[in-house]
Chain A
Amino acid sequence: MNLERDGDYITLSMGPHHPATHGVLRLEVTTDGEVITACKPDIGYLHRSIEKIAENLEWYQFVPYTDRVDYVCAMNSNHAWVCAVEALLATGAETKLEIPERAQYIRVLFAELNRISSHMIGLGAMTMDMGAFTPFIHAIGQRELVNDIFEKTCGARLTYNYMCVGGVVRDLHPGAEDEARAFLDGLEKVMREFHALITTNNIFVGRLAGVAPVSAADALSYGLSGPNLRGSGIDFDLRRDKPYGIYDRFRFDVPVGKRFAGDRGALGDGYDRFVCRSLEVQESIRICRQVLDQMPPASGKEDDPVGGWCVSKAAQKALRKPPVGEIYFRCENPRGETGYHLVSDGTKVPYRAKIRTGSFCALSIFEKICPGLMIADLVALIGSFDIVLPEVDR
C-alpha cells in the first residue's frame, strides 16, 4: 500500500493486488480519515489487446477469445459473439444463416445456466467481501454443478469455446436434460437456504442498506446495464425489450429494484443490486425449465442437430464473404450489456471488432459516486457492481 500525505488528506492505492477488487484493479483513493474524497480507477493491468487480435483472426476463430473477455460467463460471451456475427451475416442477401432449432435452444439453455453460475459467483463473492464465508461456499458449490454439465458436453469447465457461428459445436451429451432438471430443482432449495442465511439476514441487510445509492438518471448516463441498471429502478432487459436468439419465446419477469431494504435503504443502493441479481437467478431457472420443455429432440443426422463440427458448410461459405458494412449488436450478459460493434470490409477477417462490456461502463461511475463513501463501503460498492476485470481491460 502506498501512502501519500497532503495535509489532512491521504492518497492511497487500493490494489492492484487486493482481495476485494475482484481482479487486478487499482483504485487511487484520496481519503479524509475514513471518508473518501476522490477515487480514480486505474485499469489496464489485464489488457490483452483482444480487439487488436480480432483484426488478425477470421470471424469464427475469434470465439475462444470471447471466452477470455469474461471468463466467469464464457458461454454468454460466446453467445454474444456468434449472435453478433450472425446478425451481420443476416444483413446480406446470400449470407443469411439458418440456425438449427435445437442449437438455438441449447444456446439459451447454456446461456441461462452460465448466467446462474455467474450470478452465484457474484452473489457469493459479495457476501464474502462483507465478511460472510458460508454463503460463498453454498454458491460456488452450485457453480461446480453447472460446470459439470458443461464439461460433459463441451469438455471444458471455464473457457468453453462451445458456440460457433451457425450453431453449437456438438449436441448435448446423453442425459444432459435430466441433469439440468435435477440441478434446477436442487438449486431452488439452495437458493431458499441462501436467502434465509444471508439475503434476509439482519446484519447483512444493515451492512448494505443505503450504501452507495445510484440514481436512475446517473445509472443511465453512466451506462450501467444489467442488474446494476435495474437495481436503480429502471425496467429494462435486452432479453425482453430487444430479444435476440429465441428469447421472445419464453415468459419471464424482470426484477427491478424498489428499496428492498425498506426504510433503512435507498433506491439503487448496494442491497437493491444484490437482491435484483438473486431474483434474476429465479427467472433464469424459469427460462431454463421452459427451454427444457420446448426443446426439440436431436434429429440424429450427422450435420443437422447442431450445425456440424465447428462451423457448418453454409457458415463457412458465408464467413468467407460477409456483407460489407457494420452492425452494433447488444446482448444481455450477467454483468450487463455486452455489445459488439463489428465493421466488415467483406473479407474473412473482421476490419474492426469493438467490445462493449458491462463492467467497463460500471467502473466509469466510480469517480462520480465514491466521494463521501467510507473506505469499507468501497469494497461493498465493487462487490455490488459484480465487476470482473478481464471484461474491463479486454
Chain B
Amino acid sequence: MSSVPSRNPSRGKALSFEELLAKVQEGFPTVKAGSAPNGARWIAVEAASLLEVARHLKSEPSLSFGSLCCLSGVDLLKFPPPAEKDGPASDQLVCAYDLHSVEHGHELRLKVSVPPERASVPSVETVWGVAGFFEREIFDLYGIEFRGHHDLRRLLMPPDWIGHPLRKDYEYPVHYADWELKREGQAFESGPYK
C-alpha cells in the first residue's frame, strides 16, 4: 500500500497562469495581468466586459471554470500605493473573483476595480448562481452596485442601516433606530488596534 492518497483519475489538464492569461487574451485583448509583491497573480478585467469574460471562462472547454469559490470585496483606500501604478488611483474598490475548475483543477483570480463614487459592476449571477449571495453581501458591506442582480438588498446588516461597514472610511454610527450606540466617555475608534 503506497502512502499516496487515491487520486481522481478523470482530471483534465491544469493550465498554468500564463497559459490561462493567453487563452483569455485571445478573446479579450483588454484583459491585463496583475500581480502583488508576494507573487499573487490575477487577471484584471474592466467592469464593462466582465460578464462576457465570465461567460467565456465558464463555457470554453479548455478553461471550464465551473465554480466561483469566493467573491470578496476589498477597499484599497488605505492600502500603501504600489511602486508602479496600473490604473487610476480612484479605482479603489475591488471585487476579487476566485475561480476554480473541478474538471481541470486549475484556479484563477479575476479582479474588477471601480471608483467609489460610481461603484457599479455587472452581476455574474447568471453565470455562477452563488454570486447572487456574494454580491448581496458586497453590496451590503461595500456599497458596490451589481447591475442586473435580481434581488439586490442588504444581506447581513439590517435593511435600514446607513453606510457600508467594511469601507475603510466608514464611521461608526452614533444612533441606530432608537438606540444610542455611543455611550458617554467611550471612544469608538475605527482603524487597526495599536
Residues of chain A having any CB pair with chain B under 8 Å: 40, 43-44, 47, 49, 51-52, 55-58, 61, 88, 91-92, 217-218, 220-223, 234-236, 239-243, 247-254, 323-328, 330, 337, 339, 341, 343-347, 349, 351-352, 354, 356, 360-361, 363-365, 367-368, 393-394
Contact = CB atoms under 8 A, between A and B. Distances in A.
Given A47-B157, A221-B67, A364-B129, A52 B102 contact: no
Q: Which 9 A-B pairs have the closest CB atoms?
A: A325-B38, A325-B36, A223-B130, A354-B72, A364-B133, A323-B38, A91-B38, A356-B70, A349-B192
A326 B158 contact: no
Contacts of B134: 364
B36 to A, nearest CB: 3
A240 B8 contact: yes
A220 to B, nearest CB: 4
B129 A328 contact: no
B121 to A, nearest CB: 16
Given A330-B69, A341-B72, A55 B6 contact: no
A354 to B, nearest CB: 4
A247 B134 CA distance: 29
B67 A351 contact: no
B166 interface: yes
Contacts of A349: 192-193
A328 to B, nearest CB: 5
B37 A324 contact: yes
B142 to A, nearest CB: 11
Could you say which interface size class chain B belongs to? 35 or more
A60 to B, nearest CB: 12
B70 A236 contact: no
Interface string B18-50: 000000000000000000111110000000000
Contacts of A356: 69-70, 72
A220 B66 contact: yes
B4 A248 contact: yes
Contact of B102 (A44, A236, A240, A325): A236
A345 B79 contact: yes
Given A323-B37, A343-B79, A346-B80, 12 more contacts: A43-B155, A91-B40, A221-B67, A221-B129, A248-B5, A251-B4, A325-B40, A327-B40, A328-B96, A349-B193, A356-B72, A364-B132
A243 B8 CA distance: 13
A223 B105 CA distance: 15
6 contacts: A56-B193, A218-B129, A326-B40, A345-B78, A345-B80, A352-B75
A258 to B, nearest CB: 15
A62 to B, nearest CB: 11
Q: By CB atoms of chain A within 10 A, which of B38, B80, B105, B132 has the most?
A: B38
B91 interface: no
Contacts, number: 149
A47 B193 contact: no
B130 A324 contact: no
A119 to B, nearest CB: 19
A279 to B, nearest CB: 14
Given A56-B192, A341-B96, A328 B165 contact: no
B86 to A, nearest CB: 15
B128 interface: yes
Given A56-B191, A220-B66, A368 B129 contact: yes
A241 B156 contact: no
Contact of A220 (B7, B102, B141): B102
B16 interface: no
Contacts of A40: 151
Contacts of A56: 191-193
A241 B98 CA distance: 17
A55 B190 CA distance: 10
Contacts of B4: 248, 251
A339 B132 contact: no
A390 B102 CA distance: 28
B68 A223 contact: yes
A30 to B, nearest CB: 14
B74 interface: yes
B186 interface: no
Given A252-B6, A325-B36, A328-B98, A222 B105 contact: no
A363 B136 CA distance: 13
Nearest to A49: B165
A253 B130 contact: no
Nearest to B72: A354
